[in-house]
Amino acid sequence: MAVSLITTIKRFVGLSTDAKPTGVPAGSTFLAYDTQTLYVTPDDGTTWILKGMPANNAVAVTTIDLKQAAKSYTLFTVTAQACLIDSLGIIIPADLSGEATFSGISIQSTDASPVVFLSETDGSKAKLNEAGKHIIWMGPDLVGDTEEIELTIKGGATGASQVCTVFASYRPVVAGGYLAV
């Protein structure tokens, strides 16, 4: 990309659910004021890129071994207040595509209408095919107070210990909320 002088950038503000404008100068920004998320466009508004994580985010980190029975396991519990989950990621430690009984994972909340962070399709063993693979979901989405974020193992346990690191960037809706590990 060639360096270009930007002198006519525009700044837009709206809800995170609003369509971002097109036909704008490169370098223009869009602030989703309800989530405090800032985007910048490197072109005419066809592409919008997250400029940085929202302010005041906390990060929760845990691990889970996939050498366990096929069922759901709690990763995080939303405590004291509902939380906006801005991003959630998992690091896959090895190529899992050759596992015999293991068929994949999914990650979701226990809300009445669950937030799906990693679907069964995207977490199938065929897609968990490289060591160090990072799978990242970008939100934000709301998970209610006392609800859990769970990882579900499908099929069966991995043959060897496969410890995955899971991390979430979040903000409480009201001061005091947090993700307990």
**Is 143 part of a structural domain of the chain?**
yes
Q: Computed from CA positions of residues 148, 165, 155, 140, in that sequence, does the dihedral angle turn out positive or negative?
A: positive
Considering the domain architecture, whether residues 96 and 16 belong to the same structural domain is answered as no
Considering the domain architecture, whether residues 47 and 65 belong to the same structural domain is answered as no
**Is 5 part of a structural domain of the chain?**
no
**Is 1 part of a structural domain of the chain?**
no
Asked whether residue 2 carries a pLDDT value surpassing 80, the answer given is no
**Is 21 part of a structural domain of the chain?**
yes
Cα 94 from Cα 153, distance rounded (Å): 16
Give me the domain span that covers residue 157: 58-180
Considering the domain architecture, whether residues 43 and 75 belong to the same structural domain is answered as no
Asked whether residue 122 carries a pLDDT value surpassing 70, the answer given is yes
Considering the domain architecture, whether residues 116 and 156 belong to the same structural domain is answered as yes
Q: What is residue 139's predicted lDDT score, i.e. its pLDDT? A: 86
Cα 127 from Cα 19, distance rounded (Å): 31
Question: Can you tell me whether residue 12 is helix, strand or coil?
Answer: strand
Considering the domain architecture, whether residues 134 and 151 belong to the same structural domain is answered as yes
CATH code of the domain in which 127 resides? 2.60.120
Whole-number mean pLDDT of the chain? 90
**Is 6 part of a structural domain of the chain?**
no
The more confidently predicted of residues 161 and 25 is 161
Considering the domain architecture, whether residues 115 and 176 belong to the same structural domain is answered as yes
Considering the domain architecture, whether residues 23 and 76 belong to the same structural domain is answered as no
Q: What is residue 130's predicted lDDT score, i.e. its pLDDT? A: 93
Considering the domain architecture, whether residues 45 and 63 belong to the same structural domain is answered as no
**Is 130 part of a structural domain of the chain?**
yes
Number of domains, the chain: 2
Cα 67 from Cα 161, distance rounded (Å): 5
Considering the domain architecture, whether residues 46 and 97 belong to the same structural domain is answered as no
Considering the domain architecture, whether residues 37 and 97 belong to the same structural domain is answered as no
Quick: pLDDT tens for 88-97: 999 999 999 9
Cα 17 from Cα 34, distance rounded (Å): 9
